[in-house]
Amino acid sequence: MKKPSRASISPKAKARSGTAVKKRGTTAATPTASAKKQRDTNVAIATELAPAVAIALLDKTEQAPGAPAPALDCLAAGVTASEDDGKVRVQLMFENGAVLPVEMSVDAGAALSKRLVHELPKAK
């Protein structure tokens, strides 16, 4: 009876299959170049592209001269803790059910809260 042959597996194949041996000194928390690139892309979309697109689209609305700038018309808002220390997450919900999460510093959230109290009509 023949012994099964030991086929040589390339390091790339091992990495794709998830059976690669970790190199000394690396950990699972060490981001790969592609993970870092993806994280950087996500940050750029959230901090630069999404606000720019929203502003550009709202700027295309027609309004009377001297009228206030257009704004998103949301149905409800909620606040939750952020995964990042020192931040809160405000979630704006729209009529179609879409939710837009917006993160801000705790200080910005406190300032928003104070201003909301000031702007809301007084209860009678």
Is the pLDDT assigned to residue 113 strictly greater than 60? yes
Task: Name the percent of the chain lying above pLDDT 90.
Answer: 40
Is the pLDDT assigned to residue 19 strictly greater than 60? no
pLDDT class for 14, splitting at 50, 70, 90?
very low
State the chain's mean pLDDT as an integer.
80
Contact assessment for residue 87 and residue 69, using Cβ atoms and an 8 Å cutoff: no
Q: What is residue 44's predicted lDDT score, i.e. its pLDDT?
A: 87
Give the C-alpha distances (Å, rounded to integers) separating 55 from 38, 48, 52, 104: 24, 11, 5, 18
Is the pLDDT assigned to residue 22 strictly greater than 70? no
